[in-house]
């Protein structure tokens, strides 16, 4: 079965139909720039256009970089604050006429990795971290997701962890790999002390450059780069939307 997966990010909205049995994109992904300011009406319209690009009529899974409960957005760390309290899923269903499942972006990426990537078949406690504009987390216990964990916002050295360890910070502050990896290492050490994971999966765009920093991470648990890389959000969103497919 194919489901349209869509990944709403700070700079781009990307989508492609996904074969949920294999986790592969069945056609080339399409990307449109995220409109600015990224308020609910303009983002919903942009997603609508993406859906039209594929001429899609069927279930849709869509990520959002915030807490999402029953389709409603409950936080807005890196998105327009007017999203808080918005029924994003309902608005997308109205615009597209399709059944939609809205899910946190890191949770979606984690689902993709657990099904077809670096976490395939892994039991125990697995933590997926997405290092990008924000710092996302997804926690799995014996393969089952604990949604909306938001560990990227724990406090470290008086700061929001995301403000030290997100990939955006390395670029914004022009940090060398070693300094930034030190921030990531400290964050992961804290995660390890709290949750004793068996495996960390590192995702987000920067995971393509994992050879620059993963050897500088010193945790007891195994640490591996994500396999689906930039497509994990699209794939995971499609997988999650199985629940709205009849």
Beta carbon of residue 132, minimum distance to ligand BGC (angstroms, whole number): 6
Told to check if 88 binds ligand BGC by CB under 6 A, we report no
Beta carbon of residue 13, minimum distance to ligand BGC (angstroms, whole number): 13
Q: Which residues, in sequence order, are CB contacts of 144 under 8 Å at separation 6+? A: none
Which residue's CB is nearer to ligand BGC, number 99 or number 147? 147
CA distance readout (Å), 25 to 96, 115, 165, 178, 202 = 21, 14, 30, 35, 21
Told to check if 226 binds ligand BGC by CB under 6 A, we report no
Per-residue interface string for the shown chain with ligand BGC, residues 32-71, x marking contact by CB under 6 A = ---------------------------------xxx----
Q: Which residues, in sequence order, are CB contacts of 61 under 8 Å at separation 6+? A: 3, 4, 5, 6, 100, 101, 103, 108, 236, 237, 238, 239, 240, 241, 244
Per-residue interface string for the shown chain with ligand BGC, residues 146-175, x marking contact by CB under 6 A = ----x-x---------x-------------
Beta carbon of residue 52, minimum distance to ligand BGC (angstroms, whole number): 26
- DSSP conformation letters of 23-91: TEESS--EEEEPPSS--HHHHHHHHHHHHHHTT--S-EEEEESS-EETTEE---SSS-GGGTT-BHHHH
C-beta nearest to ligand BGC: residue: 134
Per-residue interface string for the shown chain with ligand BGC, residues 98-137, x marking contact by CB under 6 A = ------xxx-----------------------x-x-xxx-
- Most distant pair of Cα atoms in the chain: their distance: 49
For ligand BGC (CB under 6 A), the number of binding residues is 17
Told to check if 78 binds ligand BGC by CB under 6 A, we report yes
Taking the C-alpha atoms of residue 59 and residue 213, their distance in angstroms, rounded to an integer, is 38
Which residue's CB is nearer to ligand BGC, number 17 or number 73? 73
Taking the C-alpha atoms of residue 20 and residue 35, their distance in angstroms, rounded to an integer, is 29
Beta carbon of residue 7, minimum distance to ligand BGC (angstroms, whole number): 10
Q: How far is CA 236 from the centre of its chain?
A: 8
Which residue's CB is nearer to ligand BGC, number 105 or number 231? 105
Q: Which residues of the shown chain bind ligand BGC in the complex (CB under 6 A)? A: 65-67, 75, 77-78, 104-106, 130, 132, 134-136, 150, 152, 162
């Amino acid at each position: 079965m194919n489901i349209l997966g869509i990944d709403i990010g700070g700079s781009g909205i990307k989508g492609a139909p996904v074969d949920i049995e294999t986790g592969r994109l069945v056609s080339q992904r399409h990307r449109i720039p995220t409109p600015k300011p990224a308020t609910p009406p303009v983002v919903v319209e942009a997603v609508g256009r993406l859906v039209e690009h594929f001429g899609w009529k069927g279930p849709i899974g869509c990520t959002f970089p915030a807490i999402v409960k029953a389709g409603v957005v409950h936080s807005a760390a890196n998105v327009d604050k007017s999203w808080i309290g918005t029924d994003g899923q309902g608005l997308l269903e109205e615009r597209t006429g399709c059944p939609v499942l809205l899910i946190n972006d890191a949770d979606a990426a984690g689902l993709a990795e657990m099904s077809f990537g670096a976490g395939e078949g892994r039991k125990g406690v697995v933590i997926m971290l997405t290092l990008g504009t924000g710092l996302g987390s997804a926690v799995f216990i014996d393969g089952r997701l604990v949604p909306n964990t938001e560990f990227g916002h724990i406090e470290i050295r008086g700061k929001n962890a995301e403000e030290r360890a997100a990939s955006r910070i390395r670029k914004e502050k022009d940090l060398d790999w070693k300094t930034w990896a030190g921030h990531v290492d400290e964050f992961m050490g804290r995660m390890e002390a709290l949750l004793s994971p068996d495996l960390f999966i590192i995702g987000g765009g920067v995971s393509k450059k994992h050879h620059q920093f993963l050897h500088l991470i010193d945790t007891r648990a195994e640490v591996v780069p994500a396999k689906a890389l930039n497509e994990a959000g699209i794939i995971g969103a499609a997988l999650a939307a199985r629940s709205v497919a009849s």
